[in-house]
Amino acid sequence: MKNEAAFAALCGVSPVEFSSGKTTKRRLNRGGNRQANAALYRIVLTRLRWDETTQKYLQHRTEQGKSKRDVIRCLKRYLAREIFTILKTIPDQPKTSRSMN
C-alpha cells in the first residue's frame, strides 16, 4: 500500500461523493475487504460505547447536523488513518527460506 488513501480503499472506508438533486453527500466505498470494514465498524461501535472522547465527538457532530450514520462513517475513516500510521511503523520482516534438511 502506497498511502493512507489506498489502505482506506482496501478497507472500504474511502469516501465516494454522490448526489440526488440539490444535495451532495459522501458515502463509503462499497468495494474493499468486507471483513476489514466490519472490523473497523466493530471498533467504532466499541469506542462509541466506552471512549469518552469518541462520545464527545459524536455529540459535537450531531449538534452540527450530522446523522449518527455519517458520524460512524467519519470515525471509520479516522480509524483507518490511525491503523495505517501504526502499520507504517512496523518494520518489514525479511523473508527467510527454510532449509530442506
**Tens digits of residue pLDDT in 75-84:** 999 999 999 9
What is the spatial distance between Cα 63 and Cα 71, in angstroms, rounded to a whole number? 11
Question: Which residue type sits at 59?
Answer: Q
Residue 29: predicted pLDDT: 75
Q: What is the value of pTM for the model shown?
A: 0.77
Q: Quick check: 27 pLDDT over 80?
A: no
Residue 98: predicted pLDDT: 65
